[in-house]
Every structure is written in structure tokens, then in C-alpha cells.
Structure 1
Amino acid sequence: MRLFGSIDREHRRVVLAAMAGTTIEWYDFFIYAISAGLVFATQYFAALGKDALLLSFATVGISFFFRPIGAVVAGHLGDRFGRRALLIATLLLMGVSTVLIGLVPGAGSIGTAAPVLLVVLRIVQGLSAGGEWGGAALLAVEHAPADRRGLYGAFPQIGVPIGLLLANGALALAAAVTTPAQFLAWGWRIPFLLSFVLIVVGLLIRGRVAESPVFEEVRRTRSRSSLPLVPLVRHHGVLVLLGAVLFAANNAVGYMTTGGYVQSYAVKTLHLDRSTVLAAVMVSAVAWLVSTLVGGHLADRVGRIKVYRIGFAVQLLWMVPFFALLDTANVGLLVLALVLFSVGLGLTYGPQAALYAEMYPTRVRYSGAAISYALGAVLGGAFAPTIAEALQSSTGTVYSVCAYLAGMTLLGLLATFFVRDRRGVPLRTAEVPAESRATDPTG
């Protein structure tokens, strides 16, 4: 079909490597987030009583504060030494920490050491996630033809819904083949341990990909920055913040499913079957995947910012119907709600890699993209499940959560009016001097 036909063999290998790595990274990240709502409250934080679920969700958010650190370190190294090596390192870091989470004994066996170990390993996941996305996105976009960057950049993006699909699928399978007691005792560990297999596959795929041609040109001309964070903050600080707000608006909404809130609410409040809910989220992940690719493709046709605005409008318009259908506790309506919920997410996620890459000059591009992404994750997704749980508990209605997410979406929509669409700008040659951009937040 037209959407994929123009991607040649070399570029298919690149986008596959970017997609495979982010898929594995986010599979690892999401099985923790989903397990926080379904398992960890009882296995690691039960001593806290009624606050166990809130603290369990809070451990999902703690790792987000370490994403900017991972982004700064990976951005510095990626802008100095290249994208490829950093992508292999972040993959290993995430995979090993995930396997170890699957081996941590419960609080009943080792007491307070259990939640402490869990949090430490979650922090390592946060460091890895902070550095992964920027490298994967730039590898895809910097290899892409100028008129296909939106589509190519959408491939590392779909690693998120694929990771969500695999995470929910693995947990649903584990729940289906075990009794509820067995699942809580040991069944939930199986998806974490399976991450070892995914690490090996990811390393084999990424090891075959060449370095970004844009970075190679910078290396040849010796125009790399020795401290990329300094010119980034000095000359592009406003852009970093605007990029963070754009992602925060997407991320807060997305973390209703990726952070485990919807799964927990549907199972524990609406009393729906755990496996059924996980299967419903898997269906929505497919819709998210498709809409993300469509968003990337449309971004090449009509521009990145226009697609963002359409996506935010869809998010906003579907917010109240989503929660109304969720509260019916009807499985069919739950699936419908989640599928349409995912359309806005995909349209505000598909263009992101291309937009971020075109926002920054090459010498600070990894740092800029990674830090914007990491800050957006902190502002949007970090404590979105915790905030949602607290709002619902304190008000007694999910419509308070609806208001919170609508507010975040409006902030993202507002930010689109301050970011210039630079679709198709040559990444290697059209680098405006930093001094001339310092006072232009939309440049």
C-alpha cells in the first residue's frame, strides 16, 4: 500500500530497529505500570492499608523524575558519540532491570526491603526510558527522506502501543492460565522474566543498523558540541518547554491506560474480569498503533502542527463520552470507549518524532528531543494515575478525572500556537545560527 511502499530495504531495517527497541523498552515499562494497579499494592505495599494502591501508583510516577537525568546523560553522549551506541545501552539497562523486578520477593518474605528494591529498579527503568526515545526517534527521522520524516518518525512511536499490546497480552495470558491466587503469588512474574528473550531479539536487530547519516556528517565536519546542554538551554530553552507541554497533554491522557488507572478502576471498582479488561486494552492498543501511523503519514501531507490540533480536538471531544461509557461496566462499550479514546492519542503522537527533530539543530538535537520528551513525561504522565485515583476517591466520580485530562489537553492545544511547523527543512544544511534563534521561541 502507498503508506509503506516507498520505504526501501535499508530504511525498513532502520525503522524496524527503532520500532523494535522502543517496543521492548515500553513493554518493560508498561508491565510494571499495569502490575502496579493489579498486583503490587497487595504484594509489596499491603501494610499501608487503604493507601496501598495510591503508593503503588506513586512508584510508577517516581521513575519519571529520573527520566530527565537519563535524557541529559543520553543526550550528551548521543550528541557527542552517536545515536546507535546509546540505543544499545538503554535497551540493556531497561531489560536487565525488568528481569530483576520479576525476581524481587514480596514483602511477606523480606519485609520493607521488597518495596525498596522495587522502587530502585523502577528508577533504573526511568533512567533508561529517558534516553531511549530520543535516540530511536532521531535514528528513524535522520535516515528518512525529507518528505517522509513524519511516517518514518511514527515507527518508533508505535513501539508504545505495541509494547502496551504485548504487556497486556502477557499479563492477560498469565492471568488466564493461573487462578487469581496463583497470579498474585507468582503468575505476574512471568511477563517480567520473558523480557530476557526480548532483549536478545532487540540487540540482534539494533546491532545491524548503521549510524545516522546526519550525525556522521557532523562527526566528519567536527561540528559536535562538547557540552550540548549549554547551548540547548541558552538558545532553545523555550522550545524545550513548549515541546514538553505538547507531550504532557498527550501523555496524561495516554497514561490512563498505559499507567494502569483504567485497568485498576475497571477491575476493582466496576468489578469486571481482569483478563477481559486487559483484552479490551489490547484492542485499543491496535487502534492507537494505526492512528499513530496515520498521524505520521498525515504530518507529511498537511504539516505536523495541523495534525496535533486535530488530535487534541478529538481528545477533548471524546473525553466525557469516554468516561460515560467506561462507567456503564459494559465490556462492549468499554472496548468502544477505549478504541475511540486511542484515536486522539495516535494523532498527537504520530508527528512527534519529526516535529522534535526539526525543532533543533543537529549538534543539540538528541539532547533537545530527549529532554523535551522526558520533561513532558514528568509533567503529563508521571503521576497521572495517582492524580486520577486521588480525584476519583475524593470526589466519588470519574468526571473529576475527566476535567483534569481536559485541562491538560487544552494546554497542549494552546502550545501548538507557539511552535513553528518546519516540515521538510533540510536537517543537515538549514541550521539557523543559534544566536538568531535565541529570541524566537517558535524558530
Structure 2
Amino acid sequence: MASATHRSIEAVWRIESARIIAGVARLVRDVGLAEELAQDALLAALEHWPVAGVPANPGAWLMTAAKHRALDHLRQARMRALKHQQIGHDLEAQEASIVPDFVDSLDAARADQIGDDLLRLIFTACHPVLSTEARVALTLKLLGGLTTAEIARAFLVTEPTVAQRIVRAKRTLTAARVPFELPPGNALAVRLASVLEVIYLIFNEGYAATAGDDWLRPALCDEALRLGRILAGLASEEPEVHGLVALMELQSSRAQARVDAAGQPVLLADQDRARWDRLLIRRGLHALQRAEALGGALGPYALQAAIAACHARAHSVQETDWAQIAALYDALAQVAPSPVVELNRAVAVSMAFGPAAGLEILDTLAEQPALQQYQYLPAARGDLLARLGRHDEARRQFERAAALARNARERAFLLERARAQGGPGGQ
């Protein structure tokens, strides 16, 4: 029984922890402290629920327990610091809003407040004052409900490394006096870009793991999608939020077809499209329509989603509108220029206008510093050279790509492609 109760507590915590931390952070204005108080409520549940049973509304129980602890903390801080009388009035007002079973029925205003709290937490955890690694770790911890060990396994780093990133992130937020609030005015767009970047980084690490033995890490894709969907509900007037959700939904739809029975990668051209998830495709296309309906030029995520939509709508590689995809990459290169975008544009051009046209673009990228250790450049060159019948050159490119790959599945896949070109060690 205790084991079943503990599993229930873990499940509730994974679902509710972000809302609880966000609600407490609104009171104490400190994300690190809010997490500690929420953890205290979790410990209380671990003590009481195995004896008294899981309450009818476990999320409400945890929220109430955490907010009581927050009010106790504020009251003690007030007494220690001998704050003026107004703080006492504020605390009384906050305390009056909390009753033992206050979440039995939430009215619309309270529900909106919870939504605002979650949005504040997302923007705080993804604050640009933190390094990218710290933002990712803190977001997965606070909003994904993942343990330090789970984050460490996902990114193939040690548990102490992740723990240190999280501790430093919370200290940095406190030291920088980052307010627990939505950014004002023009700052919102800058911060939103940071939030979207973090969510997409988490998704990409799940979609094509940079290292380790597994090509896919579905749990990270699921967490990123969950965060994206939450954000889309909270920031429904932001087209790029819907663009990112559309992109993740559409890419996720291919997950089952991207690996074979042995877990080896399968190229897009070789995937069984009957295994693509039609529900995720419909969701992705709907999210893309929402982004487009909000008006204005499409941003980088919406443009990438539009590219993914071209693949999703096609029944085969041959039926894919590659000219449209190449045009979309042209637009993406204008709004978010980068060597990686140019590489992908080259592949699209090769499919639309022939491998020689694509190779001409790739040749201009050979000296790009950002691509010197990027295995997908020689892999793309190898593919185009193979299509041109230049198999010896293709083999060397695939071997170079394999040498750069850190993921074991990807490395084996690239070496197999090299062997398929013939020559030394080949057929």
C-alpha cells in the first residue's frame, strides 16, 4: 500500500509541482525559496498520505500545504525584521484567501491567477541572466518536474554537475534580483525568445541526442511538448509560441518511424509514413494555422513548422513539394541566418533542383567555423556526392561525419553508409 501511495505522490508531484512552485513564488518572490517550501509540502505528503490516504484533490492539498509554509516564512521574516504595519495587512489579506480546502472549486479569476503564476515561473527560469545550460536544467527541474538524476541521465552529465547548475542558477536569480513577474513592454519579446530557445533545446536533445547510445530520448520530447502546450495556452496571442508547438508536434509525429527495430536511425526518405502519428500531425497543422491566423510575417519557428508541414502532407518523398521547402528555407535564411540553415537549404535545393545545385551551396560552407565539428555537413556532402555517383568521395565524407558524431547509434549509421559506397572496408 505504501508503495502504491508513493507512486501516486510521485505522479502528482510530476504533474502539479510547477503550479505549486509558481503559486508559492508569487508570495515569497524567490524561486529558490519557493521550491524549498514546495518540497517541504511534498515531504509532508510523504509522511501523512501513507497513513491517512491520498486526498480527493492531492494537488490542492499540496498547494495549500506549501502556501501555509510560505505564509509562515513571511510572518517570521516580518517579525524578525520588524516590518511596518502595511506588510502585516498584506499578509493577513493573503492568509485570508487560503482555507483548508480552498481549491475544491476554483473560480475563473483564481484560475487566471494560477496561469499568470506559471507564466511568470517560465519566464523566470528561462531568464537570459542564466547560461543556456543553467536555464535548461532549471526549467526541467521546476517546470518539468524531473529529478536531478533524470536530468543528468538525459544530458549525459554527472548528477553533481546538474545539481551545481541548478543551485548556481537559483543563486544567480536571487543575486541579480530578478523579479518574479512578466517582463514589461519590449522586454517581453526578448525574454520570450529565450523561453522558446530553452524549450526547443530540450526538444532537440530528445529528438536527436547529441551523445550516448540512444538516438531518441522520448521523455525529453514529451517534456518540451508539454511545456510548449502550456506556454501556448498562457501566451495565446504570440504567433511564435504556436509556431514552436506546431514544429514540435509535426517533428514528434515521425518519432516511431525514425528508428528501426534495432534502434538504428532511419533516413526521412526511407521512413514508413504509415507509422507517422496522424493525431500529432493534425495538432501540428492546427497550431501552424493559429500562428498564421495571428497575422504578420512568420517567425523562425513558424517557418520551420511550415517546412515540417510540407513533409507531413506528402504521402512520399517523391510527392513532397521540395520547391516550396527550398523557398521556405530562403525565407528562414532571411529572418534567422545561420550556417545550419544554409546547410538545410542546400539539402532542400538538391531535392528540388538536383544534387549538383545543392553541392554548390555546401561548398560555400566548407570554411565556416561553426560547422567545422558539425557532423551533418560532411554527412550531407556524402549524400549528395553519392547521388552524383562520386562514391569514393562520398565514402570519405561519411567516414569524416562518423568521426565527428558523439552518438553511438548515429556513428554506426554513418559508418554503414560509408561501407555502402564501396572502397576500403566497403563492398
What TM-score does the superposition give when structure 2 sets the normalisation length? 0.32
For the pair shown, the structure with the greater C-alpha radius of gyration is 2
Task: Indicate the structure with greater helix content.
Answer: 1
Bigger RCO of structures 1 and 2 (CA < 8 A, at least 6 apart): 1
